[in-house]
Structure 1
């Protein structure tokens, strides 16, 4: 069997040594600042917390392939005037927004029912002057998971979703050390998907299990 050869450019990295602060030659705060969007943002940050189990409704935003996770930031540039109007409405009314999961196509509003979205707060926005040929730029922070129970839309675009706030996932040592490990965590806690439906055994299967026992 041929041995895999790894070639290093320059001197090979030290083996078994910790990385020191002096080894990092870039500003570690830059990635989270999203300065590629510009530095003329207006801070409008807020923290909206809703009681788990409570039902609410908010404006909603959907974009294919975009999934916002609670606790993470999302830079956003609108694609069309309707999205621009929505961002300005959110900014003016100081309301939260639901980001719907974009991991699959949705042919109708009913397809959103049962999905798990994320409530988000607008924390910074830049609205250019009318004379500028530039789009609105916004920054959102994901807050809580919400299970969608109803989705509606009106003629002025706003997609409004109704749903129930889900409890925050807490991964403790007892769960991590359980023989089944992370298999105990519902699918909706580990990713944006529907929990599997319970399977009901038919009469034949029940009889077979009774014979085995």
Structure 2
């Protein structure tokens, strides 16, 4: 057997090995829409529709959750799980009374191990400039 024939035979064996490895791997179907649905927050959330868009030159008093590690961009979805009593209280007020720069489109309250939690899906809608900061203790 010549050197060329030996190389051809080795190539065929490697190809057969790769084919058998591929045949053993399970086929995994991945739904690319799953991560953006934020299903880990639960599927039984109350959904909201409608929004308020303020004029560019208008001044509004709006509640703000100060998350320093999060930057919400208009059009971006923001999933939240709130558990601090002040945040839970504020979210109840916000979802009931205000149109905000982050449109809340799904909301659910839970209580587990004596801790109240609010789960929210919101999408960024309108940028705003802070003119004044007032804090409120609940």
The TM-score with structure 1 as length reference comes to: 0.47
1:82 aligns with one of 86, 90, 110:
86
Q: Structure 1 34/44 Cα, relative in aligned 2: closer, same or farther at 3 Å? A: same
Which one has a larger percent helix, Structure 1 or Structure 2?
2
Q: Is the 8 A contact 2:107 2:119 kept in 1?
A: yes
| Distance of 1:122 and 1:81 partners within structure 2 | 19
Bigger-Rg structure (1/2): 2
2:125 aligns with one of 133, 143, 149:
143
1:140-199 superposed Cα distances (whole Å, 9 cap, x missing partner): 11011111111111232xxxxxxxxxxxxxxxxxxxxxxxxxxxxxxxxxxxxxxxxxxx
CA apart distance, 1:128: 2.5
CA apart distance, 1:131: 8.8
CA apart distance, 1:96: 3.0
2:99 aligns with one of 96, 99, 106:
96
Report which structure shows greater RCO (CA 8 Å, sep ≥6).
2
CA RMSD across the alignment? 2.5
User: 1:61 aligns to what SS in structure 2?
Assistant: coil
Would you say 1:71 and 2:86 are equivalent positions? Answer: no
Residue of structure 1 equivalent to 2:13: none
CA apart distance, 1:124: 0.7
Q: Is the 8 A contact 1:71 1:141 kept in 2?
A: yes
Q: Is the 8 A contact 2:107 2:121 kept in 1?
A: yes
Q: Which structure 1 residue ranges, 4+ long, deviate > 4 Å from structure 2?
A: 129-134
| Distance of 2:112 and 2:39 partners within structure 1 | 23
Name the count of aligned residue pairs. 113
User: 1:148 aligns to what SS in structure 2?
Assistant: coil
Q: Specify every segment of 5 or more residues in structure 1 that has no aligned partner in the other structure, as ranges.
A: 1-9, 12-23, 98-118, 157-213
The TM-score with structure 2 as length reference comes to: 0.71
| Distance of 1:41 and 1:155 partners within structure 2 | 28
Would you say 1:40 and 2:22 are equivalent positions? Answer: no
